[in-house]
Amino acid sequence: MPTLNSLNNRYQEKRLTIMLIIALLVLFVISLMVGDVNLSIINTLKNISNDNSSLESIILMDIRLPRTLLAVLIGASLGLSGAALQGMVRNPLAEPGIIGVSTSAALGAVIVFYFGLATAFPMALPLGGIVGALLAVIFLYALTRHNNSMLTLILAGVAVSSLSAALTALALNLSPNPYAALEIFFWLMGSLADRSFTHVWLILPTTLIGWWLMLSTRHDLDVLSLGDDTAQSLGVQIQRLNKRIILGVALSVGAAVSVSGGIGFVGLVVPHVLRPYVGYQPGRLLICSALGGAVLLLAADITVRLLATQQELKIGVLTALLGAPFFLHLILKSKREWAP
């Protein structure tokens, strides 16, 4: 029996989804137009449809398009994972970056990438990221299962993050490649510069499986917000739900980090901003957060391309500038929970 309030929510949710899709399409087109070289998209597309290869078509199809697609894929993965994790542990601070999942995914990818495994077998790169992410999510889940306080989650996240960052630095310093040690910036801050279609194809399969796993839990997540016991009595298999979210987060975030480095705070900001529009229901938040994540990351990527710095700013710098004050705000808002 739908109440007036939930009907109103559903209308709001639909409107929000449509607005996010429109924003995403607009940004997609802008992203194809922004770059060092000015080119007319319409002429270039005409050329491409006539099968005329030109420099413009290479720039559009092989430099700007893969970059845009990666921003959409990775942004959606981060937004969706943030929303799913927050629903699972019922804690608004759960986010792949803050709880150290991104950093441990970076560690896995670094080990695979710099020691020649990825050259021998390209799929090893996303798999390395996925294994790293999986270990971190399982550890954090085991830790917060019986003690779901904000303090435990954040402190454990700090520990996992710093340990993985240190091990990443160690692995980079041990790498035989002299450029490796300088590349820690990429792995900790993230960037989409000069990525190609190779990377899109590498992460697409696992990303889609991860999305499907997380989205398949959306009805159960709504029920779970009523509490474990109520959810179980309503037929929700909590173990199965947790397994799906853990695996889904590991697959999509692990793959994303392995080609873009760790980009923080997207999964924190987006679900938090959108939550009021979906009636605070964690399940209904998932799709909106995926769209919102894609919009945010694409906008951030366009911004770093427009900023006139000599070398392109790492995209994670921008999301952290936006997200860290937000994080602080969330902590201050919920400081009641810190009291023992």
Figure out which of the listed residues 13, 88, 96, 114 binds another protein, where binding follows CB under 8 A.
114
Tell me the closest approach of the beta carbon of residue 46 to another protein, in angstroms.
17
Helices (H), the chain: 4-33, 41-49, 55-58, 65-89, 101-114, 117-120, 124-144, 150-174, 184-189, 197-215, 218-224, 228-233, 238-260, 266-274, 282-306, 315-333
**Binding residue for another protein, selected from 2, 178, 235, 340, defined by CB under 8 A:** 178
Q: Is 233 in the site for another protein (CB under 8 A)?
A: no
Task: Determine how many CB atoms are found less than 10 A away from the CB of residue 234.
Answer: 11
Cα–Cα distance, 297 to 295 (Å, whole number) = 6
Here's the x/- map for another protein, 193-222, by CB under 8 A: it reads as -x-xxx------------------------
Of the residues 32, 76, 94, 118, which one makes contact with another protein according to CB under 8 A: 118
Q: Which of 1, 5, 36, 51 binds another protein (CB under 8 A)?
A: 36
Find, among 64, 10, 56, 6, the residue nearest to 34 by Cα: 64
Note whether 304 binds another protein by CB under 8 A: no
The position carrying tokens 């798999």 is: 127
Q: Is 176 in the site for another protein (CB under 8 A)?
A: yes
**Does 43 help bind another protein (rule: CB under 8 A)?**
no
Neighbouring residues of 175: CB distance < 8 A, sequence distance ≥ 6? 114, 115, 181
Nearest-angstrom CA–CA distance, 186 and 325: 22
| Nearest distance from C-beta of residue 74 to another protein, angstroms | 16
Q: How far is the CB of 127 from another protein (least distance, A)?
A: 16
Of the residues 311, 336, 339, 340, which one makes contact with another protein according to CB under 8 A: 311
CA distances from 324 to 2, 280, 313 (A): 38, 23, 17
Angle at 328 (CA atoms; ends 325, 330), nearest 5 degrees: 115
Q: Which of 40, 43, 119, 303 binds another protein (CB under 8 A)?
A: 119
Dihedral of alpha carbons 120, 65, 205, 144, sign:
positive
Q: Shortest gap between Cβ of 55 and another protein (angstroms)?
A: 5
| Sole residue written with tokens 């917060």 | 144
51, 182 contact by CB (below 8 A): no
Q: Is 52 in the site for another protein (CB under 8 A)?
A: no
**Smallest gap, in angstroms, from Cβ of residue 138 to another protein?**
28
CA geometry: angle at 208 spanning 30 and 293, to 5°? 40
Is residue 239 a contact residue for another protein (CB under 8 A)? no
Rule CB under 8 A: is residue 180 a binding residue for another protein?
Answer: yes
- Residues 255-294 binding another protein (CB under 8 A) are none
Interaction between residue 50 and another protein (CB under 8 A): no
CB of 22 to another protein, least distance (A): 28
- Considering only the stretches 17-25, 53-61, 92-100, 324-332, report the one whose residues sit in contact with another protein under the rule CB under 8 A: 53-61
Show Cβ contacts of residue 276 under 8 Å, excluding neighbours closer than 6 positions. none
The residue from 16, 45, 48, 59 that contacts another protein (CB under 8 A) is 59
Contact (Cβ atoms closer than 8 angstroms) between residue 34 and residue 302: yes
Applying CB under 8 A, which of residues 29, 58, 151, 166 lies at the interface with another protein?
Answer: 58
Give the interface with another protein as residue ranges (CB under 8 A). 35-37, 53-55, 58-59, 62-63, 113-116, 118-119, 175-180, 182-183, 186, 194, 196-198, 310-311
